[in-house]
Structure 1
Amino acid sequence: METSAAGWWILCPLLFLQQVTLSWAACPCPDPALCEPITHSQDFEVYVFYTRGQSWKRYDWSKITTVALFAPYDPELMCFAHSKGARLVLKGDVPINDIIDPRNRTAWVREKVNLAKRQFMDGINLDIEQPVTEGSPQYYALTALVQETTETFHREIPGSQVTFDVAWSPACVDLRCYNYSGIADLCDFLFVMSYDEQSQIWTECVAGANAPYNQTLRGYDEFVDLGIDPKKLVMGVPWYGYDYTCLNLSKDHTCSIPNKPFRGAPCSDAAGRKVAYGAIMKQVNGSSSGRLWDEAQKSPFYNYKDRKGNVHQVWYDDPQSIALKVAYVKKRGLRGVGMWNGDLLDYSSDPVAQQQTAAMWKALIL
């Protein structure tokens, strides 16, 4: 059907009004303003990974600046996060071999930014933990992906945030030999996963802290030595621990563990199993040793026997060990702190659990 020039000028405002109406209708929030992206930045970042369930409703939102969505999209969460001034960002993961071709890389970035727009989200967290050899095609493709992702998101979603997850040290941990300084320059900041630090055990095969204090801090010295601004680094802390079955437990609490090789190392934390902090708190006081403290690693641990009589040792982080690391974050001038993950605490109505959960959130701020 043809429309005359005069008819077009009459029709145009109607089409515009209809388009605006559809746009408002697409917003799932009771207040359409909550679908606007978060554009402001906080002086101190508190970064939370959300993985499952409804526990996000009981997070301490007075502290949160960003939530990374590692679970199915929940529009109610988006609306609530925005009402608290917190960003909600996508998870970004892609096989590196798939994005060596620039066309595939551009298509992947376009897909992610369109998804973020449809879901009224505020950026993306690139969680790509694949082995890469320095100077390889994958090495350059990964750097190019970060650059294109950051440029596209910043251009199309003003104020959006693009972050990249890295291991606790840039020293090719788990064979991840990335262009760390280049990636840090290209994105908003790095989320440093200062946990799973026993993924490669090069010394004797014994149980140890998930995030030993001195080893953790050494990793940040190594990042800064590469020329990375401390304000480009957010420290990730674990809200979980590792339960190891001991082949032998000595009188000084040294727990020998089975050899579980990983990416060239003879031993690894694969000899243990991950345990949520909420579950640890239910077990520690009834354990055979009760809570113990290792001063060298500045980490709590305990021993217990299972029903078959096997001796176990559990290493974890709690408010005491986390507060020590957060004090370093502030002294070193890092961008902030975060955790993997926000759903590992006990958010039940039990008063003891409530105190334990509140203490873990409080430790992030000091």
Structure 2
Amino acid sequence: MLAALLAIHCSHAQPAKPYDIIGYYSGDGKSLSAYPIEKLTQLIFSFLHLKGNELAFDNEQRKQDLLEIVALKNKRNPSMKVLISLGGWGGCATCSPVFATAENRQAFANSVLQILQTTQTDGIDLDWEYPTIPGPPGHPYSADDKANFTDLIQRLRTTMGDKYELSFAAGGFDTFIAQSVDWAAVTPLVNRINLMTYDLINGYSKVTGHHTALYSRPSQKESTDNCVQQLLKLGVPANKLVIGAAFYSRVWANVAATNNGLDQSGQHTAGVSYKHFQEKLTPAQGFTAYWDDTAKATHFYNAEKQLFATTDDPQSIKAKVAYMKKYGLGGIMFWELREDAPVNGLLSVMEAAVKE
């Protein structure tokens, strides 16, 4: 009898859900064809924006770009889901006032469903930077954003039903975690939470650091681990958390050589995409790479030019994937695919590490 019961139990056991590998992408279908999209479980088309109280493409060409992407997905990776995304940094200027009314929130939800149906896409990712707290300079925000964001999520889920994916991009820093989201109310309604555990040292920072550190260190609390552990303590299920990686560096100029440029004052300047690392961040260009075994993060320093670059690289990507597995998280995502090398890029490193 016991053996029979065990057999019945095992026959109904569900296989472990595979980890998601999610890439944000702001390009078109033609450019996408150069990348190994077979390695992705999800691609997030970035970005659509508000037009009044509805979600809209910036122009007709962007709609055609999305349709090309869907066609390419159907041809090369039918199991990959394609989501549309609202906002982005600088792309949600009217979100706070528009989402302040129930009528507008419902109109937005209706417009999302219509776009999903007409483009045959699989869901939406909300990238409102940020509810309740300051985002881009001059963008309005309100203490009411938190409740309005909750209601927006509820209306989207009710309007779209369970057929479509619903996720949002969450700031990976303390203030966002503490103030922007009602985690208990929102988490059950979304498929996943994409943690922007990059830009933790950002373009407004006057002191260098690791912009996408895995672990905290004495001089920098903000990190992937700091973000994840807070959310786990708040009761967010591990399998709904997707940690973020950066396929680009952030660069500071006029950085002193002390500590090889780390924790030094400087002026933020243009970053470098991973696909250009071999042209711009190598010893031939005067850069030396340094691994921080506490933060599990890499930075580059050029003593002659006093340039400091902080980034993800193959070593830090592998460390993040190992962390994802250690805590049973839902997956790993990155900004963005256009910044990767189409061949032997960070996406390939990521996928290989996930499969190990």
TM-score class, shorter-chain normalisation, is: 0.7 to 0.9
Q: 2:44, 2:280 → 1: CA distance?
A: 29
8 Å contact from structure 2 (residues 321, 350) kept in 1 = no
8 Å contact from structure 2 (residues 252, 266) kept in 1 = no
Say whether residues 1:45 and 2:20 are aligned partners: yes
8 Å contact from structure 2 (residues 166, 191) kept in 1 = yes
Q: Which residues in structure 2 correspond to 1:41-120 (within 5 Å)? A: 43-53=18-28, 54-70=30-46, 72-73=62-63, 74=65, 75-83=67-75, 84=77, 85-93=79-87, 95-120=95-120
Say whether residues 1:213 and 2:214 are aligned partners: yes
Q: 1:121, 1:314 → 2: CA distance?
A: 37
Alignment equivalent of 2:170, drawn from 166, 169, 186:
166
Q: Which has the larger radius of gyration?
A: 1
Q: Which residues in structure 2 correspond to 1:291-310 (within 5 Å)? A: 291-304=289-302, 310=305
8 Å contact from structure 1 (residues 232, 334) kept in 2 = yes
Q: In the TM superposition, what is the alpha-carbon distance from 1:139 to its structure 2 partner?
A: 1.3
8 Å contact from structure 1 (residues 154, 161) kept in 2 = no
Does the residue aligned with 1:172 lie in a helix, a strand or coil? Answer: helix
Q: Which residues in structure 2 correspond to 1:206-355 (within 5 Å)? A: 206-214=207-215, 215-250=223-258, 252-254=260-262, 256-258=264-266, 271-285=268-282, 286-304=284-302, 310-347=305-342, 354-355=343-344
AA aligned to 1:123 is G
Q: 1:320, 1:327 → 2: CA distance?
A: 11
* Shift in alpha-carbon separation, 1:131–1:152, aligned structure 2, 3 A: closer
* Shift in alpha-carbon separation, 1:43–1:247, aligned structure 2, 3 A: closer
Q: 2:104, 2:177 → 1: CA distance?
A: 26
Deviations 1:293-331 (A, max 9, x none): 2223222222237xxx74211111111101101111011
Q: In the TM superposition, what is the alpha-carbon distance from 1:106 to its structure 2 partner?
A: 0.5
Q: In the TM superposition, what is the alpha-carbon distance from 1:365 to its structure 2 partner?
A: 4.5
Q: In the TM superposition, what is the alpha-carbon distance from 1:345 to its structure 2 partner?
A: 1.5
Q: In the TM superposition, what is the alpha-carbon distance from 1:178 to its structure 2 partner?
A: 2.1
Q: 1:208, 1:236 → 2: CA distance?
A: 17
Unaligned 5+ runs, structure 1:
1-40, 260-270, 348-353
Does the residue aligned with 1:62 lie in a helix, a strand or coil? Answer: helix
Q: In the TM superposition, what is the alpha-carbon distance from 1:80 to its structure 2 partner?
A: 2.2
AA aligned to 2:171 is A
8 Å contact from structure 2 (residues 177, 231) kept in 1 = no
Deviations 1:119-164 (A, max 9, x none): 1111101111124069932211111001111221125xx2x10001
Deviations 1:216-269 (A, max 9, x none): 11210000111100011111111111111034222644462247xxxxxxxxxx
AA aligned to 1:101 is T
Q: 1:244, 1:207 → 2: CA distance?
A: 7
Deviations 1:161-216 (A, max 9, x none): 000110114x32499522233222221111111101114999xx531111112121
Query: Identity of paired residues, percent?
Result: 20
Q: 1:336, 1:174 → 2: CA distance?
A: 19
* Shift in alpha-carbon separation, 1:274–1:131, aligned structure 2, 3 A: farther
Q: In the TM superposition, what is the alpha-carbon distance from 1:361 to its structure 2 partner?
A: 4.8
Q: 1:192, 1:76 → 2: CA distance?
A: 28
8 Å contact from structure 2 (residues 208, 261) kept in 1 = no
Unaligned 5+ runs, structure 2:
1-15, 48-61, 134-140, 216-222
TM-score, reference length from structure 1: 0.74
AA aligned to 1:231 is N
Q: 1:56, 1:236 → 2: CA distance?
A: 21
TM-score, reference length from structure 2: 0.76
8 Å contact from structure 2 (residues 245, 333) kept in 1 = yes
CA RMSD of aligned residues (A): 2.7
AA aligned to 1:46 is I
Q: 1:363, 1:283 → 2: CA distance?
A: 26
